[in-house]
Amino acid sequence: MPFTPVILWTDSLLWLLVAATCAYLWLCARRPHLAAPWLRVARSGAAMVSLTLLAGYGAIGLADSLHFRVALPASAAAAARAYSPQTLSVLDLALSHLRRSEETTYSAPLATRLFTLEETRMPDGSLMREYPRLRHGGSGLAHEADWGVDVAWRVLAGLAGALLVWLPIGALLWPLRRRAPQVPWGAAYATLGAMLALAGPAFALSLAYHVLGTDKVGQDVLYLSLKSVRTSLVIGTLTTLVMLPLGAMLGVTAGYFKGWVDDLIQFLYTTLNSIPAVLLIAAFVLMMQVYIDGHPQLFPTTAQRADVRLLLLCVILGVTSWTSLARLLRGEALKLAELEYVQAAHALSVSHLRILTRHLLPNVAHIIIISLVLDFSGLVLAEVVLSYVGVGVDPSTLSFGTMINAARLEMAREPVVWWSLASAFSFLLVLVLAANLLADAVRDGFDPRVHV
């Protein structure tokens, strides 16, 4: 076998989450009362557009969550097969032409020459200051004057390729459209077309150019942006794995049992809430860092260390952000506990645990779903700020936070290096915007006050 799979903690949890989502969707498909609010969500055009966009991001993130280590060329001395210390993902494999095509420093998008002047020694021994040609950007060009024609051809080829993918998918959507005519499939299909129209030319161009330029150490910015998607998705989704059980359990228990249980849980979340969030997270992260630095033997590769740090960051964010969900659920459970069906369950001597799980939790599920979707965008944005403060992800983890952070110094350069900031900004904006639009649609679809 030429490679060995590496299962990082966040990978397994992310795939677990995907499996759980699939199981939930399967359950929804079989229970009409569970499916009804989702169908209301799907009827909104904005929701379908943002779902399509999020599916695109999700595909990138999941492709980046299948990790492996490639085998090193076999040597006679080593009896066992040695594997490269570098952990790669399927996304890295698909983008290997971008990963390998490093320049020496900054270059503008689609440029053929470096952004900075460098001294080169001419064959006759004299020094000349010029913008050197890039190793990868425009390397296929015989003459630099052909640049415009080459770019145009590649864009056209990319668009043609996108069209070839787009049209068959339209045929696949046709039966869905007949089965669920009230869902605006056209909006989703148009969004997909727009995404492909951007991705096709970008891919065709990336074979010979740096589409979004290169950063300070000459890495392709498009590659960095695509790799950052996973970090955002991990933070936005895995945090909920911590937040959900804590918030749901404690909130519903407080509202149901009342009395000293309620007092204790209220005390707990008021205390946690009263500590400024950034400081609490910073304190947790500083402590975690001391632990990681003190136990290097637990983390054999850089990827594993960075991954544990990312996971712990999710745990920390979850521990600090379950309070609002708990407060919401406590209020709702206080109301529900007085209703007839709960009283009837009491009279029939149903156990507390059964009342909590069978009668209360399903009736607050809409609040849980709404707040999970609402929190996603906030968490993605929080990562950016925390990375700036220095308590975010590991410096070796690629994320929008680290990209924007680096862009601070680039904007102060003369002439200005704008492309890193612009790419991080656009990728992040589309992700957060889609999440916000979906959250709005989900809130409208699930809120019982809107559809009685």
Partner 1 sequence: MLAYILRRTLYAIPILIGVNLITFALFFVVNTPDDMARMQLGAKRVTQAEIERWKAAHGYDKPLLWNARAAGSEKLAQTVFFQKSVRLFAFDFGASEDGRNIAAEIRTRMWPSLALAIPVFLVGLALNISFALAMAFFRATYLDFWGVVLCVVMMSISTLFYIIAGQYLVAKLWDLVPISGYNSGLHAIKFLILPVAIGVASGVGAGSRWYRTLFLEEMGKDYVRTARAKGLSEAVVMFRHVLKNAMIPILTGVVVVIPLLFMGSLLMESFFGIPGLGSYTIDAIQSQDFAVVRSMVFIGSLLYILGLLLTDLSYTLVDPRVRLE
Any idea which residue has 């904007």 for tokens? 411
Least distance in angstroms from the C-beta of 359 to partner 1? 30
Could you tell me the CA-to-CA distances from 80 to 54, 68, 85 in Å, in that order?
43, 18, 15
**Residues in Cβ contact with 305 at an 8 Å cutoff, skipping those fewer than 6 apart:** 292, 299, 394
When the beta carbons of 162 and 312 are compared against partner 1, the nearer one is: 312
When the beta carbons of 303 and 417 are compared against partner 1, the nearer one is: 417
Contact of 135 with 103, CB cutoff 8 Å: yes
Q: What is the distance between the alpha carbons of residues 238 and 271, in angstroms, rounded to a whole number?
A: 24
Q: What does DSSP say about strands 127-130 and 118-121: parallel, antiparallel, or unpaired? A: antiparallel
Report the candidate in 401, 397, 236 with the shortest Cα–Cα distance to residue 321.
Answer: 236
Least distance in angstroms from the C-beta of 14 to partner 1? 23
423 token code pair: 């790419």
Least distance in angstroms from the C-beta of 278 to partner 1? 6
Least distance in angstroms from the C-beta of 408 to partner 1? 6
When the beta carbons of 262 and 440 are compared against partner 1, the nearer one is: 440
Least distance in angstroms from the C-beta of 293 to partner 1? 8
Q: What is the distance between the alpha carbons of residues 137 and 221, in angstroms, rounded to a whole number?
A: 13
Q: What is the distance between the alpha carbons of residues 425 and 405, in angstroms, rounded to a whole number?
A: 12
- List contacts with partner 1 (CB under 8 A): 267-268, 270-276, 278-280, 282-284, 286-287, 290-291, 294, 377, 381, 384-385, 388-391, 400, 404-405, 407-408, 411-412, 416, 421, 425, 428-429, 432-433, 436-437, 440
Could you tell me the CA-to-CA distances from 176 to 36, 40, 184, 191, 392 in Å, in that order?
17, 16, 11, 17, 42
Ramachandran area for residue 218 (φ above 0: left; ψ -120 to 50: alpha; else beta):
left
- Return the H-helix or E-strand segment holding 119: strand 118-121
Least distance in angstroms from the C-beta of 268 to partner 1? 8
Least distance in angstroms from the C-beta of 399 to partner 1? 12
When the beta carbons of 48 and 196 are compared against partner 1, the nearer one is: 48
